[in-house]
Amino acid sequence: MKFSITRAAERGRKDIGWLKSNFTFSFSSYVNPERNGFGLLRVFNDDFVQPGNGFGIHPHTNMEIISVMLAGSMNHKDTLGYTEVVHQDWVQIMSAGTGMRHEEHNVGDDEVNFLQIWIEPKLQNIAPRYQRQQFPEAKRKNQLTTIVSNEEGQAHCWINQNAKLSLGYYEAPQTVDYRFNPLNKALFLFVISGSIMLDGQTLQARDSMGIWETDHVSLECAADTRFLLIEAPINH
């Protein structure tokens, strides 16, 4: 197994008052030639948005965009006709395809924290699509829950790429074994809270690890640990 760790303090940062962003990979004003994505995972931002503020209408094309809501309430309005509000424990996806425009703002009284994830699509120029799904933490205790995959279904969101995203939440210390087909695949692990030991390395809150050249990992989770695991292609 090979891996690369990005500590929370090593991430790129942007603070414009109403928005505080933490960039694992090059994005916006943060440019790091050594961190231009991980395989087809191109963007992983840990964003904090103040009440009454947000992102005005802007376009996307040919990108799979995933938002994982960790705290607060945020609206979503797009040119497909969707006008939604997503809250903590909700996940929304946009398969931007041939193109769509959207806006999102913090519409609650508390700070919004969400993970903004971009993955390159499998097929270009598909019809754009939006979807959202709720994953209450109370129903995810002590297990790994699939929130996004390439398979259509009622239990999770699906995207135009052979990728899989899973949320883990463990109240007590637990070793989580995760196996996958390593053919053109790699894993990206992000610790939301708590800590995880993997292959002798300890990851604390907001640390991440890219993992490749293996078909399984054993995550030694401390008590009250939350994390996101992304299984995504290395190449098209």
172's tokens: 């007590």
Determine the Cα–Cα distance for residues 60 and 151; give it in Å rounded to an integer: 23
Cβ atoms 212, 187 nearer than 8 A: yes
Contacts of 3 (CB under 8 A, 6+ apart): 198, 199, 201, 209, 210, 211, 212
Determine the Cα–Cα distance for residues 57 and 79; give it in Å rounded to an integer: 9
Hey, how many other C-beta atoms are within 10 angstroms of the C-beta on 18? 13
Name the β-bridge partners of 74: 86, 106
Query: What is the bridge-based pairing of β-strands 225-233 and 201-203?
Result: unpaired
* C-alpha 198 chain-centroid distance: 20
Name the residue type at position 158.
W
Running DSSP on this structure, what letter comes out for residue 126?
A: P
Running DSSP on this structure, what letter comes out for residue 150?
A: S
Per-residue pLDDT of the chain (236 residues; tens, 9 = 90+): 999 999 999 999 999 999 999 999 999 999 999 999 999 999 999 999 999 999 999 999 999 999 999 999 999 999 999 999 999 999 999 999 999 999 999 999 999 999 999 999 999 999 999 999 999 999 999 999 999 999 998 899 999 999 999 999 999 999 999 999 989 999 999 999 999 999 999 999 999 999 999 999 999 999 999 999 999 999 97
Cβ atoms 45, 62 nearer than 8 A: no
Determine the Cα–Cα distance for residues 234 and 213; give it in Å rounded to an integer: 11
Give the residue among 102, 137, 3 at the shortest CA–CA distance from 92.
102
Hey, how many other C-beta atoms are within 10 angstroms of the C-beta on 159? 23
What region does 20 belong to: left with phi over 0, alpha with psi -120 to 50, or beta? beta
Name the β-bridge partners of 33: none
pLDDT at 236: 76
Name the residue type at position 217.
V
Give the residue among 84, 92, 90 at the shortest CA–CA distance from 64.
92
Determine the Cα–Cα distance for residues 107 and 117; give it in Å rounded to an integer: 21
